[in-house]
Amino acid sequence: MRVAWTGSGWALQRRWIVPAAMMGVFVAVMTKGRLLLTTGGSLEWVLDLAIAAGCGFLIRYGFRQLRKKNMVENVPSSPIRSVAMGLAEIQGRSPGDPTLAAPLSGALCHYYRYQVEEERHRSKGGREWVVVDRGESSAPFHVEDPTGRILVNPSGADIVLKRDYQRIERGEGWFGRRKRYSEWRIDPGEFVYVIGTVSKLRDVAAEKRARLQERLREVKKDPAAIGRFDLDGSGALDEQEWAGAVAVVKDDLLREELARKTAGPGDNLVVGAGETESTFMISDRDERRLATLLGWKAFAAILAGGAGALAMIASILGHFGGGAGGWTFPWETLLQ
């Protein structure tokens, strides 16, 4: 938990308020409500307030998903050859030559995310899967369409993929716990949808200036090169002769560049997380199916968060005699 110093003292950063409140609820549940029972339930409204804060966080999550849905539906898809700088939507396929090997399945791929869960017994009976390990690749990969290819940097992306691999492994011995291994991948030749911020991978103009300066430094150090441009035989280059040398070196660099293989469309661009625009998603679903999925997530989160917040507000009012009929949430019964 992070605490920040303000002019009036120490203050909890805003993004940690909801997790701190939920931690309080967790502690109360784990102690089976002993604090509430010993105080006659006088602190139940604190739990109501904490749950209401969590519901507010859920509502905020729902509206974020709704914003993503609107961006997916409204940002037009661009061919890679003509993609513009800034927020853009690209649909294509991953190249046929994979660059990574997934850690669980060993499958060759361009991106992977994995999760390892362990089956454990709940304190009140039943079983649940608990995450014990997870990870993902961070290496950039290319996306291609008929017009060209572009680099995608997955760091910071909201990545929505269908699960490609799952295995359940029985524990060893009588008391061994089962483990579940899951993996999500972008395989070679797979459809890839990307919406994110397009920026330059490198500054081509700056690279040309650097090459020119380096070549001119070589000219100054090479007596034979100086003799090539020393028209009056003085052993040094005057202003006019130096301008001629610069022009000749520029022409040499241009011919060398034309002789090399011309860079394809998008080879100098990368799609990634923007500095001001937070929307950055990668998926193996097309635009329509991804928008539908985001819509359902937004609907469920807003509905559940709104209903929970209203119930907790009614319970808080009930504690202070302001609710209809004096209803309060039955924490004491639940935590016994």
Q: Tens digit of pLDDT for each residue in 73-128? A: 999 999 999 898 899 999 999 999 888 999 999 999 999 999 999 998 877 777 88
Q: Which residue has the higher pLDDT, 25 or 250?
A: 250
Q: Which residue has the higher pLDDT, 263 or 5?
A: 263
Could you tell me if 195 and 236 lie in one domain?
A: no
Could you tell me if 48 and 109 lie in one domain?
A: yes
Q: By mean pLDDT, which of 112-116, 130-134, 229-233 is the weakest?
A: 229-233
- With a cut of 60, say whether residue 31 has pLDDT above it: no
Residue 128 has what pLDDT? Answer: 87
Could you tell me if 47 and 59 lie in one domain?
A: yes
Could you tell me if 213 and 246 lie in one domain?
A: yes
Pairing mode, if any, of strands 148-152 and 269-272?
parallel
Residue 234 has what pLDDT? Answer: 76
Could you tell me if 12 and 50 lie in one domain?
A: yes
Residues 77, 64: contact at Cβ < 8 Å? no
Residues 195, 279: contact at Cβ < 8 Å? yes
Residue 20 has what pLDDT? Answer: 53
| Domain span holding position 252 | 204-259
State which of 226, 242, 259 marks the end of a domain: 259
Q: By mean pLDDT, which of 239-243, 300-304, 306-310, 311-315 is the weakest?
A: 239-243
- With a cut of 90, say whether residue 135 has pLDDT above it: yes
State which of 238, 259, 280 marks the end of a domain: 259
Q: How much is the CA Rg of the chain, to the nearest whole Å?
A: 31
Residue 13 has what pLDDT? Answer: 42
Could you tell me if 162 and 252 lie in one domain?
A: no
Could you tell me if 252 and 277 lie in one domain?
A: no
Structural domains in the chain (count): 2
Could you tell me if 238 and 161 lie in one domain?
A: no
Could you tell me if 102 and 230 lie in one domain?
A: no
Confidence of residue 39 (pLDDT cuts 50, 70, 90): very low
Could you tell me if 62 and 115 lie in one domain?
A: yes
H-helix or E-strand spanning residue 87: strand 86-93
Residue 162 has what pLDDT? Answer: 94
Residue 23 has what pLDDT? Answer: 53
State which of 221, 242, 259 marks the end of a domain: 259
Could you tell me if 70 and 183 lie in one domain?
A: yes
Could you tell me if 183 and 291 lie in one domain?
A: yes
CA distances from 128 to 22, 23, 121 (A): 20, 20, 6
In which order are the strands placed within the sheet that holds 127-136? Answer: 127-136, 111-121, 179-186, 163-169
Mean pLDDT of 172-195: 89
| Chain segment 234-275, per-residue pLDDT in tens | 777 778 877 877 888 888 877 776 665 555 555 678 999 888
Q: Which residue has the higher pLDDT, 291 or 11?
A: 291
Average pLDDT, the chain: 80
Residue 336 has what pLDDT? Answer: 59
Q: Which residue has the higher pLDDT, 97 or 8?
A: 97
Residue 334, helix vs strand vs coil: helix
Residue 34 has what pLDDT? Answer: 47
